[in-house]
Amino acid sequence: MKIKEFIGSTVLDKNANVVGKVDNVDFDTETGKIETVLLTLQKNIFSKDELEIDFEDIATIGAYIILNKEITREEEAETVEIEIEDEE
């Protein structure tokens, strides 16, 4: 799979709950390995939050990106709090 095909893929947690979509990837320029994946969480039509996950947290890549962990609402809330603090 090419990176441009990876971007925009729907991400599911281990319980098959939709988490969001792949927005960007960060990779090691020396090894070429993906280190982290930035997800855009679709809360509603007017708000978007982001969540960064380690590439190691991805179980499978195919029609969907499936994580090997559950993403809880608390993790999503922490992401929002960090973004708000950064803006101040």
Report pLDDT for 35. Answer: 92
Q: How many domains does the chain have?
A: 1
Give the whole-angstrom CA distance, residue 88 versus residue 11. Answer: 30
Range of the domain at 59: 3-87
Q: Which of 23, 21, 80, 18 shows the shortest CA–CA distance to 49?
A: 80
Longest dimension (CA), the chain: 39
Give the whole-angstrom CA distance, residue 88 versus residue 74. Answer: 22
* pLDDT band per the 50, 70, 90 thresholds, residue 48: low
Is 70 exceeded by the pLDDT of residue 29?
Answer: yes
* pLDDT band per the 50, 70, 90 thresholds, residue 46: low
pTM above 0.75, yes or no: no
Q: Which residue has the higher pLDDT, 24 or 85?
A: 24
- Please compute, for residue 2, the number of CA atoms within 13 A of its CA located in the half-sphere on the CB side: 2
Say which CATH number the domain at 21 has: 2.30.30.240
Give the whole-angstrom CA distance, residue 65 versus residue 58. Answer: 7
